[in-house]
Amino acid sequence: LEDRRRRRGGRRKREMEMQVERVVEEAREAFESGGTRSYFWRRSQLRALKDLILESEIAICDALMLDLGKHRVEAFRDEVGLLAKSVDHALENLKKWMKPEKVRVPLVSFPSTGEVVPEPLGVILIIASWNFPIGLSLEPLIGAISAGNSVVLKPSELALASSKFLATSLPKYLDNKAVKVIEGGPLIGQQLLDQKWDKIFFTGSTRVGRIVMSAAAKHLTPVCLELGGKCPAIVDSLQGSRDIKVAINRIAGAKWGFCSGQACIAIDYLLVEEKYAPFLVDLLKEKIKKCYMRPGHLTRIVNKKQFERLREILEDPLVAATVVHGGSLDQENMFIEPTILMNPPLDSEVMTEEIFGPLLPIITLKKIADSIEFLKRRPKPLAIYAFTKDGKLKKRIVEETSSGSVTFNDAVVQFVVESLPFGGTGPSGFGKYHGKFSFAEFSHGKAVLKRSFLIEISLRYPPWSEDKLQF
Ligand code: NAD
C-alpha cells in the first residue's frame, strides 16, 4: 500500500512538473512572438485589468472576507481601490515611460547621440504572499505588463479564495497566452523556481527570499525581493491635543486597522520617552475600545499556524508579564485582541522577530534622540515611522538610519504614493516598484549610442607612439 501511495505521489509530482513546464513554455512563446512589446498590447492589458478589478469588486471583497475576514471597506481601501488607482496611473504614463530617454554624450564621441531604450525583460515569475493576496499579486503584474513582459503569477496558497479568484478571472480578461496563473504552495513554488526566468519578483518572508535567490543564481536571473522586518515608529512627546489625536489615529490604524498588523509595513513596535509612555498607553487603550473591539472591524489571523505562533510569543512568561492592555485570544474565530506590551525583553521573540499580528510592544527610552542608536543596532527595516515636529530629529533619522523608506507623522500611506519607490534594503529586501519604478524594475535600460562616419581620430589606434599621448 505504502509503495502504491509513493508511486502515486511521484506520478502526481511529475504531472505538476509537466504542467509548470508547459505554462512557462507558452508564456515564453507569447513573449517571443513579439506581441507583448507593442504599446497597444500593453494598453489593452491594463484596460482589461482595470475592467476586471472594477467589475469584480464584490467577488474580490468576498474572497478577502473568506481568506482573512477583512472588512469590505478595508478590502476596498487596501486592494480594490488601490489597484484601480495604480492601473490608472500606469495608463496615464505608459507612453512617457516607454519613450527612449535621450542622454548627453561626451565630446570624445562627437558626433553622436545617446539614449536609454527601455526593453522588456522577457518572462517574469511573480510569487505573492497571503496578507494582501490580490494587491500583492496584481500590483507587480501592472508593472510587468506595462513593461511589455509575459508573466506567470503564483498567488499564495494560504489565501485560497483569492488565489482561486485570480486563477479563474485573469484568463477571462487578459491575454491568457502571455499572462498565466499557477496555483499552489511551496512544492509548486519550488518547481517554478527550477525553471529559467528573466526576472523573479518575490513578496514574502526572508527565509523563502533566500531560497528564491539561491534558485535564481543558477540561471543568473535578476530578482526583486519584497521582504519583511520590524518597522518601528518613534513617537516624540507631542504637545497640542489635535496633533496627539491625529498621531493616535494613525498609529492605531497602521497596527490594528491594517490587516490586524499582518502587513510588512505595519507598525511593529513603538519607541517612546519614558515619561510620555503612560499618557500614550491611555490614549491607545481609548482608541482600541472605540474602534477596534467591535466584531468585524478587525481582520482575523490568517490560519492556525500563525495563530499558534502569536500565542507562543505572547505566552512567554517574560512577555506575558509586560501586557498592559488586551492579551485575550479567541481561537474559534482566530481573533487576537489588540494588545499593548510595555518594555518586553529585547531578546524575546516579540522584539527579535517580525510580529505580523496585533501585538504592539512599547519600548521606552530616556530621551527620544536615543531612538537613533537603538535603530542603528538593529537590522534595516522596510520602513521607519516618526511622529515628531522636531526638525533636527527628522534630519538625523533620514541621515543616520537606514530603511526602505521613512515616513513622518503617518504610517503605511507611503505605499499609495506611486511617485515614491517602494522596497526594502538589506534584510528587508531589494528592488523597487510602484509607478515608474515598477516599469523600470521590469525593463532593461538598453544603452544605444549612434555614431556617424564623419570624424575619425587616428590617435585611437596603433601603431602607438609617445607623441600620441600629447593630445
Ligand atoms: P512566505 O515566504 O511563507 O510565502 C510567500 C510565497 O512564497 C507564497 O506564495 C508561498 O507559497 C511561496 N513559497 C513558500 N515556500 C516556497 C518555496 N520553498 N519555494 C518557492 N516558493 C515558496 O511568506 P508569507 O507568509 O506569504 O508572507 C509573510 C511575509 O511576507 C512576511 O515576512 C512579510 O513581511 C512579507 N511581506 C513583504 C511585503 C513587502 O512588500 N515587502 C509584503 C507582504 C508581505
Q: Ligand 1: which of 203, 304, 310, 425 to mutate, judged by most atoms within 8 Å of the beta carbon?
A: 203
Sole residue written with cell 507593442: 38
Q: Looking at residue 293, what is its pLDDT?
A: 87
Pocket of ligand 1 (CB under 6 A): 127-131, 136, 154, 156-157, 185-186, 189-190, 193, 203-205, 208, 211, 226-228, 264, 354, 356, 382, 424, 429
Q: Which atom of ligand 1 is nearest to the CA of 130?
A: 26
pLDDT of 53 over the 90 cut: yes
User: pLDDT class for 13, splitting at 50, 70, 90?
Assistant: confident
What's the whole-number mean pLDDT along residues 385-408? 98
Q: Whose CA is nearest to atom 35 of ligand 1?
A: 204
Q: Ligand 1: which of 162, 193, 205 to mutate, judged by most atoms within 8 Å of the beta carbon?
A: 205
Instruction: Based on the residue annotation, tell me whether 273 is a catalytic residue of this protein.
Output: no
Q: Looking at residue 449, what is its pLDDT?
A: 97
Average pLDDT, the chain: 96
Q: Looking at residue 236, what is its pLDDT?
A: 95
Contacts of 218 (CB under 8 A, 6+ apart): none
Catalytic residue among 139, 264, 273, 441: 264
pLDDT of 467 over the 90 cut: no
What's the whole-number mean pLDDT along residues 443-467? 93
Q: HSE of 413 in the Cβ direction (CA atoms, 13 Å)? A: 8
Q: Looking at residue 173, what is its pLDDT?
A: 98
- Rounded distance from Cα 274 to ligand 1 centre (Å): 36
What's the whole-number mean pLDDT along residues 29-47? 98
> CA of 275: how far to CAs of 281, 316, 363, 387, 471, in Å?
11, 27, 12, 16, 70
Sole residue written with cell 565630446: 107
Q: Looking at residue 458, what is its pLDDT?
A: 87
Q: Looking at residue 374, what is its pLDDT?
A: 98
Q: Whose CA is nearest to atom 20 of ligand 1?
A: 189
CA angle 310, 312, 314 (to 5 degrees): 70
pLDDT of 139 over the 90 cut: yes
| 65-112 pLDDT per residue, tens | 999 999 999 999 999 999 999 999 999 999 999 999 999 999 888 899
- Rounded distance from Cα 131 to ligand 1 centre (Å): 9
Contacts of 209 (CB under 8 A, 6+ apart): 202, 225, 227, 429
- Rounded distance from Cα 205 to ligand 1 centre (Å): 4
Q: Looking at residue 239, what is its pLDDT?
A: 83
Instruction: Quote the cell numbers at residue 404.
Output: 526602505
What's the whole-number mean pLDDT along residues 37-47? 98
| 154-182 pLDDT per residue, tens | 999 999 999 999 999 999 999 999 999 99
Sign of CA dihedral 337, 332, 186, 56: negative
| 260-303 pLDDT per residue, tens | 999 999 999 999 999 999 999 999 999 999 999 877 888 999 99
Contacts of 313 (CB under 8 A, 6+ apart): 319, 348, 349, 350, 353, 355, 357, 359
Q: Looking at residue 7, what is its pLDDT?
A: 83
Catalytic residue among 74, 226, 354, 418: 226
Instruction: Quote the cell numbers at residue 466.
Output: 609617445
Q: Which atom of ligand 1 is nearest to the CA of 264?
A: 34
Q: Looking at residue 191, what is its pLDDT?
A: 96
Instruction: Based on the residue annotation, tell me whether 291 is a catalytic residue of this protein.
Output: no
| 320-353 pLDDT per residue, tens | 999 999 999 999 999 999 999 999 999 999 999 9
**Which of these, 132, 5, 160, lies nearest to 76 by C-alpha position?**
132
